[in-house]
Chains A and B, each alone.
Chain A
Amino acid sequence: MTESNLVQLKIIVERAVRPIRASLACKRKMREELLAHVSGAFEEELARVQDEHAALERTRVRFGNPTEMVNELQDSVRISDRVWRFWEGRPGESALRFALRYVSTQAAVALAIFGAVLAAAGWDRAWTHEEVIAVCSPLVSLLPVFVGLTLFLCAMEKALREARHLTAAPRAGWKKSLVLAWSTPTVRRAMIIGGAAQFLLFMAIYIASNWPARPWVKDHLISIVDTVPAMAFKAGLCVFAGLIMVWPAVERRRHHEEWASLPVEPAS
């Protein structure tokens, strides 16, 4: 099949898929499956009529009216897909705007849980001040972790999007991908800065939650130094987890950009 025919087949599919309000993952699934279908139909028609233009036209007719398809495909999108759409962000949205939107939602959820805990505290008997703090402090300390992780993920996504050679090529196994990522300066910088920031955040939370009456005694300082390897390991895991989470998202976004660049007139 020639490149030009493949583009025409993609356009048939894209006319039905582009207007759908769905996550990039959902649209990617539809695009790939429908492209496989129209490619198969095109091969059948080509074998029948032995003329590429006629085969394309017959494939288009077989596929049906894209406007009707849009409505039917839209109805088939699961409600849970909205969560994915939120997580993926909007096309063209800046990393900072995405981070702010995501963090504000996390803060709203944390505040709702915080409120529920306080309400529960006063339901049966009045909790002491210390009990309320003991229950709520993990929630409060988790918020900066999420904020830090979100900012790190945004920075990592930006770095991976700039490194087109990493995510445009077929994936080459995690070990090789990790080595390739590390050997790319922008990605390496994001990994180092992100990892260092996570490490400092974990250390700050540890120190704040174990603040003694006499902070500068030798034993306390030794206990802080003892936690350094564990916190560094956690920060390293965060970097690795971030890479695993962001890589497919960047691939999906790149796939979407490739399809979104197809010249598709609005379906009539």
Chain B
Amino acid sequence: MTAINGDKLRGHLETMVLSTLEQGEAHGLEILHRLDQAGCGLLRLKEGSLYPALYRLEAAGEVKADWESEPHGRRGARRRIYCLTAKGRRKLDAGRAEWKQFVQILGPIMGAPA
């Protein structure tokens, strides 16, 4: 199977992040590991682009972030731990419904119904 790069993920990244946070709170690197694991190592996401998405979700109140209390062996740099909010769960449900509709409509057009 060929890898899926960041351009193809555009527009879906926020829903994917919310979906990983459904498994429990996580910092940025852990979110990427979860995405990588779920995508069987075929997602090619530029790691830096995760953070603007997280900041947008945080500004919208869909995730909540807290600094970890102690730096984790990183010489002063602390990580932020993200968790899903009730608003984020609603956004995730809406995102999933939207994705199903997207696949249902585009699948027959592409000659590959879901």
A residues whose Cβ falls under 8 Å from a Cβ of B: 1, 6, 16, 29-30, 32-37, 39-41, 62-66, 68-69, 72-73, 75-78
Contacts and interface: CB of A to CB of B under 8 A. Distances in A.
Contact of A33 (B46, B59, B80): B80
A33 B42 CA distance: 25
Contacts of A34: 48, 51
A15 to B, nearest CB: 10
22 contacts: A1-B75, A30-B51, A33-B51, A35-B77, A37-B28, A39-B75, A39-B77, A40-B29, A40-B74, A41-B29, A62-B47, A63-B47, A63-B48, A64-B48, A64-B49, A69-B49, A73-B51, A73-B52, A76-B51, A76-B56, A76-B59, A77-B55
Contacts of B49: 64, 68-69, 72
Contacts of A72: 49, 52
Q: Which label, helix, strand, loop or mixed, suits the secondary structure of the A interface?
A: helix
A6 B75 CA distance: 9
B52 A63 contact: no
Contact of B59 (A29, A65, A68, A78): A78
Q: Which 3 A-B pairs have the closest CB atoms?
A: A64-B46, A72-B52, A76-B55
A69 B76 CA distance: 23
B47 A36 contact: no
B12 interface: no
B72 to A, nearest CB: 7
B74 A69 contact: no
A66 B6 CA distance: 15
B47 A64 contact: yes
Interface string B45-64: 01111011001100100000
Contacts of A40: 29, 74, 79
Nearest to B45: A64
Contacts of B78: 32-33, 36
Contact of A37 (B51, B52, B75, B76): B51
B61 to A, nearest CB: 12
A6 B76 CA distance: 11
Centre residue among A1, A36, A68, A69 by max chain B CB count within 10 A:
A36
Nearest to A40: B29
Contacts of A68: 46, 49
A69 B48 contact: yes
Contacts of B71: 36
B80 A16 contact: no
A66 B76 CA distance: 23
Interface in B12-52: 27-29, 46-49, 51-52
